[in-house]
Amino acid sequence: MGFKNTEGGDEPSATEEEGYTRLVLTEHDRAAIHQRSSKGIVRVIIAQAIMLGVVVLGSWLVSGRAAAVSALIGGGAYLVPNALFALRLLVGLWGPVQNSPFTFFVGEAFKLGTATIVLVLTAWLGSEWVVWPALLLGLLFVLKGYVLLLVSGRLP
């Protein structure tokens, strides 16, 4: 990435403040960073969806429909709120609304809270038909979806 000095030189613009160097990015540099971040966010969501598909198919082949639905609920309990949070982050990268550290913590709380509510409701309403090992595998596979990116060498 090429950094440009605000004074027109080719070197990065840097100021020394108490031993710290401040780097000033050009609009082109910011756009490149946003594009790379966006690709990483989308890749993680796609990897999680693929992992959910694998565990749902495997549960269905091994234990039948109830296990497949249980795995889908378990993985969906985390994938859906995570995809919504990813969408919010993408809007913050490319849209008029800027992201902040507070946005990140609210999004994480939303993901965890939603997953907890879905799992509690599933335990309460589906206690007769839920296949718990499949549900937990669905949740685990989605939570570890980035491992697919790590193995394929596509981790952002």
State yes or no: pLDDT of 39 exceeds 80. Answer: yes
Q: Which burial class, exposed, middle or buried, applies to 2 when counting CB atoms under 10 A from its CB (0-12, 13-18, 19+)?
A: exposed
User: How do residues 69-91 score in pLDDT, each as one tens digit?
Assistant: 999 999 999 999 999 999 988 88
Give the pLDDT score at 29.
Answer: 79
- Asked if 56 contacts 71 with a C-beta cutoff of 8 angstroms, the reply is yes
Q: Give the residue from 149, 131, 151 showing the smallest Cα distance to 139.
A: 131
User: How do residues 119-142 score in pLDDT, each as one tens digit?
Assistant: 999 999 988 999 999 999 999 999
| Dihedral Cα 37, 38, 43, 44, nearest 10 deg | 70
CA distance linking residue 136 with residue 22, whole number of Å: 46
Give the pLDDT score at 17.
Answer: 61
What is the rounded average pLDDT of the residues 41-70? 95
What is the rounded average pLDDT of the residues 37-46? 88
Q: Give the residue from 109, 62, 143, 52 showing the smallest Cα distance to 101.
A: 109
What is the rounded average pLDDT of the residues 19-28? 80
User: pTM of the predicted model, to two decimals?
Assistant: 0.77
> How many separate helices (H) and strands (E) can be counted in the chain?
5, 2
Inter-residue long-range contacts of 1-6, CB under 8 Å, 24+ positions, other chains counted: 1/29, 1/32, 2/26, 2/28, 2/29, 3/29
State yes or no: pLDDT of 6 exceeds 50. Answer: no
3-state secondary structure of 153: coil
